[in-house]
Amino acid sequence: MADFLSTDRSSNSSSNLVPGDNNGFHDIFVYDRVLKTIKRVSISSTGEESNSDSYKPSINADGSVIAFYSHASNLVAGDNNGFGDVFVYDQTLNTVKRVSISRTGEEGNDYSYKPSISADGHYIAFTSSANNLVSGDNNYRDDVFVHDQISGITERVSVSSTGEEFRVDCEEPSISGDGRYVAFALRDIGPAGAPIGVDLPSDYSYFISQVLVHDRISGTTKVVSISSTGDLGNGDSSNPSINADGRAVAFSSWADNLITNDTNGVGDIFVHTSDNIPPTVSGTITPNMVRSGNSVTIRVLSDPDTKSITALISGETFNLVKKADGTWTLKYTVPHVSDGIYSIFLNAVDNAGNQGNKTLNFTVDNTPPTIQTVLNPVLTRTGNTININVTACGDTQNITATILGRIHNLIGNNSTWTLKYTVPHVSDGIYSIFLNAVDNAGNQGNSTLNFTVDNTPPVISGVVNHDLTKKGNNITINANSSPDTANLTASILGTIYNLTKRTNKTWTLNYTIPSITSGIYDILLKATDYAGNQGNSTLNFTVDNTPSTVNN
């Protein structure tokens, strides 16, 4: 593969490196040492030359991607902020894009500059005075950011290990080959702007720049412009350059206490390695709520030079196993213990013997979920719907109902769970509903409900006390029906009347014969039981309106 070198025109006015260089501004070029060709890359995707100066290129490992910053406003569309921005030129695609933007694509509201690109061109670190690239940027200082070209996310890395922003300028980023580590200079720190977690001497009242390294995976930020015994440099340190795996950082410093016998009185170049720094440890527990007998998986991330990680759980020590992707794992089976929160103490040891620690917690819940149930109606028939309503504990994950050998899932809304069930064609009888609730820890709580299926219509019998009558007269209809009859009606001449149930369980209706012609008329009795079944019976009465004759 060809070797590449990225350069700028510095302060000279040369315009003869490539044809058509007529803009009169500083440009960024790439020289191919194998093909012995040179190419200008501080141009737009359509080949338009920039309308202002471009500086400080940073090229990736294979030379295909070049990052730089430029004051030009015509390299990409929509560049309206009036400030210098950081751009990336892709030699494979011959495209340029701006990367000093927020995750939503908003352009920076102040200058961005001094990029540093990862080996594969995936990540670009840069310095910016803008405060709108990430949320919560309230320090009104220069910060160091990293833009992910694939996800489009921009993150601020010049923060403490607890995520707090610094109160002084941070600049001069240098990113590791894989993009995990970013070294940068923290300018002129004193007691008011000291890195969080760094103990300063009581007489530390002067302002000195230091070099820090941020780990984008663990979120930790460490000072590396220190002596082998951990003393902060007593002179300005700056211009960091981090190696590919992030373990070594070279920087310049005017400090004379970083090594012994530094008596030359001038600035020197130093290299700091991580061998005297405890390994960082971060991890997760999945799931973090379990019950006795279940297993949890512990996944841990640590520094590349970590050689072993152990987990102390309930007084017993376990060794984690390192996987091919660099994560450390342990599968732990929870013994029979009472409900509560339990700790996992992680201890990582690196090749130099430094130790880093982290405590994780998981919850044991052996208590089955409690459920309260309501079934409506409890008496039904084939084809009807019954409603199952359940109130369960807040940590209930799912509830099922087993009915006639089939499992049905209830629908949950907060702590209320419901199921509408249509009764299939079954014979009369009592049927069970077995409810099973499972909580987040896998505990199960049960309850059984019963419903009755009644498909048998009610049986009716009745009599009319005067089956021969005439218009204007009253007749009384008396009827007997099955004990579970809910109501009984009589349809007479197209009108429906409700019979009244007496204390002796019989049903009655008094009916006045309207003005109708002589003849035989039907009374259709219809009984409906509590399950909705209906039974019918027909009675008759005769109307005779013919006057009687008198024989002399």
User: What's the confidence (pLDDT) of residue 313?
Assistant: 96
- Bridge partners (DSSP) listed for residue 391: 372, 416
**pLDDT number for residue 161:** 85
Q: Which amino acid is it at 282?
A: S
Measure the CA–CA gap between 211 and 297, rounded to whole angstroms.
37
489-516 pLDDT, tens digit per residue, is: 999 999 999 999 999 999 999 999 999 9
Distances (CA, A) of 300 to 213, 214, 268, 348: 21, 18, 38, 10
At 135-179, the pLDDT tens digits run: 999 999 999 999 999 999 999 999 988 888 888 899 999 999 999
Give pLDDT tens digits along the chain (552 positions).
Answer: 344 444 444 333 467 889 989 999 999 999 999 999 999 999 999 999 999 999 999 999 999 999 999 999 999 999 999 999 999 999 999 999 999 999 999 999 999 999 999 999 999 999 999 999 999 999 999 999 999 999 999 999 999 888 888 888 999 999 999 999 999 998 876 554 455 444 444 444 457 889 999 999 888 888 899 998 888 898 999 999 999 989 899 999 999 999 999 999 999 999 998 765 788 999 999 999 999 999 999 999 999 889 999 999 999 999 999 999 999 999 999 999 999 999 999 999 988 777 899 999 999 999 999 999 999 999 999 999 999 999 998 889 999 999 999 999 999 998 899 999 999 999 999 999 999 999 988 899 999 999 999 999 999 999 999 878 999 999 999 999 999 999 999 999 999 999 999 999 999 999 999 999 999 999 999 999 999 999 999 999 999 998 877 665
The pLDDT of residue 275 is 63
Name the β-bridge partners of 422. 385
Q: How far is CA 61 from CA 29, 32, 88, 325, 385, in A?
A: 16, 13, 14, 22, 69
3-state SS, residue 192: helix
Q: Where do the DSSP E strands lie in 365-494?
A: 371-376, 379-380, 385-392, 396-403, 406-409, 411-413, 416-422, 429-439, 444-453, 460-464, 468-469, 474-481, 485-492
pLDDT at 117: 98
pLDDT of residue 526: 97
Q: Running DSSP on this structure, what letter comes out for residue 239?
A: E
The alpha carbon dihedral of 218, 220, 221, 225 has a sign of negative
CA–CA separation, 79 and 545 (whole Å)? 105
Closest by CA to 109, choosing from 124, 125, 130, is 130
The letter for the amino acid at 23 is N
pLDDT reported for residue 247: 85
For residues 130 and 143, what is the distance between their CA atoms, to the nearest angstrom?
A: 8
How far apart CA 224 and CA 274 sit, in angstroms, is 8
Backbone angles phi, psi at 71, to 5 degrees: -90, 0
Contacts of 158 (CB under 8 A, 6+ apart): 143, 144, 145, 165, 166, 170, 184, 186, 212, 214
Residues 307, 309, 315, CA angle at the centre, nearest 5°? 150
**Contact of 412 with 396, CB cutoff 8 Å:** yes
Could you tell me the pTM of the whole model? 0.52
Domains and their CATH numbers in the chain: 175-277 (no CATH), 293-364 (2.60.40.1220), 371-453 (2.60.40.10), 460-543 (2.60.40.650)
Contact (CB, 8 A) for 85 and 100: yes
Q: Which pLDDT tens digit goes with each residue over 529-539?
A: 999 999 999 99
Contacts of 375 by beta carbon, 8 Å cutoff, 6+ apart: 386, 387, 388, 389, 433, 449, 451
Q: How many Cα atoms sit within 13 Å of 414 on the Cβ side?
A: 0
